[in-house]
Amino acid sequence: MRLTSFVITLILSSSLIAQEGAVWRAASKESEEYHEYRVKPTVPPHGLAKVKALIKDIKVDEDDTEALARNVYESLSLREKFTYNMIHAESYSQNCDANPPIQEEHKKIFGYLPDAFGEYAWSDRQSGFLRANRDSVISLMKESITRSKRVGVNFKHAIIEINAREMIPFIIAAYAEIKKDLDLLTVLLLLMKENEYDPFIASASYRKLYSDESNYAAFLVFSKGNEELIIKRATDFYNAGKK
């Protein structure tokens, strides 16, 4: 089934590229390196060897779902479940997008994050775990980010998944320390979008990134002005929620 989906994906993608007249041009070395940085996950250490061994033994079902048996999943500690959910997504979600390499990727603030798990996504059980244990999830992510000085794409998706708006000051501080990670600005944008923060929704930035005329690849050109504006709006949004 997965092979068939893959073939269909290639056919649809080739057709889409041909229709849109996209040119497949290699990105610069700096752009390619930044892309690799963007899609790299954070791998938590909690019970990692045990969790990897369990994932290796998962049997794929007829829907291409790759999930631990319920009794095995429930036997894991909270920290082990966190590791499992951060390195493995259970639900197959066919993705027909295959686009040319992004040019000057390191100079763009995107409206959306890159996929964290390729053709897979968190199942309802996994999303439910993150939301039900949001305080612990936030604490574990902060602990890891403080130690490693990086925020993996999986962590970024988790922040959005649990609507961790209380992490905004921490995200801004992390960005100040990890200047090259423009997707941290994307996280701030998405938190404002998902919470329907009026000053942001009324802005030109919102219209460029999230209007009906925009698409998944929409971006703002990185500049000091855009950087400062996003951080100011996110700070105002955070402070408004404290009142």
**∠ Cα 45 181 160 (to 5°):** 65
- pLDDT bin (cut points 50, 70, 90) of residue 97 is low
Model pTM above 0.85: yes
pLDDT value at position 206?
Answer: 98
Does the structure show a pLDDT above 60 at 174?
Answer: yes
pLDDT value at position 20?
Answer: 43
- Asked whether 173 and 166 are in contact (CB, 8 A), the reply is no
What average pLDDT does this structure show over 100-114?
95
To the nearest whole percent, how much of the chain has pLDDT over 90? Answer: 80
The domains of the chain are located at: 42-242
pLDDT value at position 8?
Answer: 38
pLDDT value at position 100?
Answer: 85
pLDDT value at position 209?
Answer: 98
- Encode pLDDT of 141-171 as tens digits: 999 999 999 999 999 999 999 999 999 999 9
pLDDT value at position 27?
Answer: 84
What average pLDDT does this structure show over 52-66?
90
- Asked whether 230 and 185 are in contact (CB, 8 A), the reply is yes
